[in-house]
Amino acid sequence: MKTSKSLSRLRNLLANVQVHLSFANYTKVNMRWRQMNFVPDFNRFYYIREGEGCLVIDGVTYYPKPGQLFVMPAGVKQSYYATNENAFGKYWCHFTAKIGDTDLFRLTGVPYSIDVEDEERLSGLFEKLIGHYESESFSAVLLQKATLLEIVSLFLETAVLNRESFRPAEEDSGIQNLNKVLKYIELHQHENVTVQQLADLVHFHPNYLIRQFRELVGISPIQYVQRLKMDTAKTLLTATDESISDIARRVGMELYYFSRTFKKHAGLSPSEYRQLMS
């Protein structure tokens, strides 16, 4: 089960998600719909609307029901096939979703399926996605990304409501080290955390840590530290009456540097931000 702290760390990483759509459509498949024991380098969403069939994902067999949304993630062995003449009618898409060089679904460890609460809404999103995919308009690719991100968000939000279904990715040493570094940053954000400290934590050379962190998170460790400090400051400015100098100390920064960094990050000074959000 994911703790609220680990979910908070995952949420901080979502700002770096990059998605790309390859295909989107609605298909009523037939008995020839079949592919066995393959490992794709992209993700699939299958939103089942009618019929029957079978999916095998990472050695586990599923018989999806109408109203379920399945993700078949990149890098995982999988199969699919029709089981009878009443085969699936489904919305589907092929896409990538990455944080740095790491697949989003591998990093989050979400379940492979959700039961969709608002089926009409999700059908509408897939119809929009298909429309944007088929469009030749100049900005179609941006609309594809926006709609795909909304579908991904719906999947993740529903999965979070059933946290017991999360599958931790602890077997991956890279993610294990990343979680250790992120937890340390979170617990020591009131200090001046250095790359050397983080590298020592996981027994890496600092340059190697920076490269690995960028691949997994999409930004450097120091950029992540600074963003976390600013997000914490935003929360303290809106949820407490603490003085700005006290908040600066809480995030381990001198007042002048804190004010300058905050304005660069938020576009407003700390006092302006507090006034706006009050």
Q: Where are the domains of the chain?
A: 4-165, 173-277
pLDDT in tens, 110-167: 899 999 999 999 999 999 999 999 999 999 999 999 999 999 999 999 988 876 455 5
Residue with tokens 């179609």: 140
pLDDT in the model for residue 107: 79
| Positions in the chain whose pLDDT score sits under 50 | 1, 164, 168, 171
Fill in the amino acid letter for 244.
Answer: I
Question: What pairs with residue 93 in β-bridges?
Answer: 24, 45
Superfamily of domain 4-165: Jelly Rolls (2.60.120.10)
CATH class of residue range 173-277 = mainly alpha
- Quick one: tokens of 45? 């969403």
Give the model's pLDDT for residue 101: 78
Q: Which two tokens stand for residue 197?
A: 């400290």
pLDDT value of position 3: 57
Structure tokens at 9: 């760390």
In this predicted structure, what is the pLDDT of residue 106? 83
DSSP string for residues in the chain: ---HHHHHHHHHHGGGEEEEEEEEEEEE--TT-EEEEE--SSEEEEEEEESB-EEEETTEEE---TTEEEEE-TTS-EEEE--SSSB-EEEEEEEEEEETTEEHHHHH---SEEE-S-HHHHHHHHHHHHHHHH---TTHHHHHHHHHHHHHHHHHHHHHTTGGG----TT-HHHHHHHHHHHHHHHTTTS---HHHHHHHHT--HHHHHHHHHHHHSS-HHHHHHHHHHHHHHHHHHH----HHHHHHHTT--HHHHHHHHHHHHSS-HHHHHHHH-
Dig out the tokens for 135 from the structure: 């469009």
When computed from its CA atoms, the radius of gyration of the chain, rounded to whole angstroms, is: 22
